[in-house]
Structure 1
Amino acid sequence: MTACKQYIRQLGDWFFPSFCVQCQHVVNSDSSLCEQCLADLPLLDLRKHPNLLYRPDIVELFPDCQFDHLFACAWYRSPFDSWLTQLKFSNQIHYKKALSLIISLQLAISKQHCEVWPELFIILPLHQQRFLKRGFNQVAQCWLPCLVDENIDSHSLQRTKKTQAQSSLSKTKRIKNLQGAFMCNTDMTGKTVAIIDDVMTTGATLNAATVALKNAGAKQVWAFVTCLTPLGSNT
């Protein structure tokens, strides 16, 4: 950063201060969490389990995964559940920076501890009608700033079926609801592809997307999510 840009940023921080989303202490404009609150967050340990499918409690919780690798930042508990809900349904974008910061930190740890890494990253698309109604994709808002060095594919995977909201459905109905929901129109032969969503509750959405990509030839599909729903929260 040049001295001029740094000076302009300092002026911005002075006149328009940013505040930690947890404790409300002043932080610089590049962040949204103070160091203490960031250190206190209950993040998943990706140093020990860079592929969370090898963690026994998670395998027991999600036994039917079609994908080959699972990445997540944290459990879908406080404060992450509130941040994601406020962003998704109320477009409270001040939570976006906090979530992006956490995603970036966890991605760096995961990449350091994985021997291979996906060639393509795909943010799970919304159906066109749902996107037009909401006006934004909250997953893209949080994740795109964290993937500037990755190969992002925004065209190959399409959501061809307008489904019911998953939150109101049982596990069995979630699976049925998503049958045939995705289509891949690109040859993925031999590729390792990452698919990205915000919250994994039963894995039905990620499984449906995985099937579409493997039908297109993908060698492996990795699932990347911001949060995992803990035991007792999914139905």
Structure 2
Amino acid sequence: MDARDWLAAVGRFVLPPRCMACGDRGIDGTELCAGCLASLPLNTTRCLRCALPLPRETAICGPCQRNPPPWHAIWVPFRYAQPVDRLESRFKFHGQLAAGRTLSQCWLRADPPDELPQAIVPVPLHVSRLRARGFNQALELVKPLARRFGISVCADALERVRMTEAQSELDAVERARNVRGAFAVRRLPYVRHVAVVDDVMTTGATLGACVRALRDAGVERVDVWALARTGLGALSH
């Protein structure tokens, strides 16, 4: 336990955590109350290839049957709905790192993937966006998972080699075009199996571009992890 974790533990003992979503008393050492923990939007009915939330149980959605995604396996335990979406907005766009810590706590409570990778690669931000935001949200979210699973985080494995438009402003086709060729492998130790991690998955275009860059560099198996999946549109490969 480093100094920050030790201070946080002392703070939680002196001042029990409050729910980041509603302000009630947190439970089980988390910053969510019992009600908000119970209401976490689990992504249980989903496509097994792209994690798209579906209205009923099915193995693989139509778009993935027609055009399979480039990754091997996927782990996205939540849907992008309350309270996850509100916490994510506060974390990503308002710099509230406590909200990010709460999201990591939620992620740690989810059932882990069937097979763990040898290394975790967070989706990188362009240097100008990283400078403006001050942190990479994917990296911050995955650090507690890496500690829990005992997996190395290769924060410099991928580089975003050109500035792209904000994906939130684009449709599925534009998103895929926007990130095509935007990533390059820079510093990656020899590993056979890695997981690329992002905070929220919408169409899968960004994750897909990262996967292709890693596979082109010789990585045998690349999985994708994300905290939450939106239900907007079909996957764009």
TM-score scaled by length of structure 2 = 0.80
Partners of 1:61 and 1:165 lie apart in 2 by 24
Distance 2:235 2:214 in 1: 25
Point out where structure 1 has 5 or more consecutive residues left out of the alignment: none
Moved more, 56-65 or 134-143: 56-65
- The 3-state SS of whatever aligns with 1:26 is coil
Misfit runs of 4+, over 6 Å: 187-190
Cα 1:57–1:134 shift into 2, 3 Å: farther
Using the TM superposition, give the Cα deviation of residue 72 of structure 1 relative to its aligned residue in structure 2, in angstroms.
0.6
2:74 to 66, 70, 74: 70
Separation of aligned partners in 1, 2:207 and 2:162: 15
Query: Counterpart of 2:204?
Result: 203
The aligned amino acid for 2:165 is Q
Residue identity matched to 1:144: K
- Number of equivalent positions: 222
RMSD: 3.2
> Identity of paired residues, percent?
30
1:49, distance to aligned residue in structure 2 (A): 8.1
Asked whether the 8 Å contact 2:172–2:234 carries over to 1, the reply is: no
Alignment match, 2:174: 173
User: Which SS does the other structure have where 1:18 is aligned?
Assistant: coil
Q: Which runs of 5+ in 2 are unaligned?
A: 52-56
Cα deviation code 1:152-188 (max 9, x no counterpart): 1122211111111011112111111111111113577
2:156–2:188 Cα contact (<8 Å) kept: no
Indicate whether 1:90 and 2:91 are aligned: no
Partner of 2:139: 140
Deviation at 1:34, TM superposition (A): 2.4
Structure 1 length-normalised TM: 0.81
Which structure would you say has the larger Rg? Answer: 1
Question: Structure 1: how far apart are the matches of 2:60 and 2:79?
Answer: 11
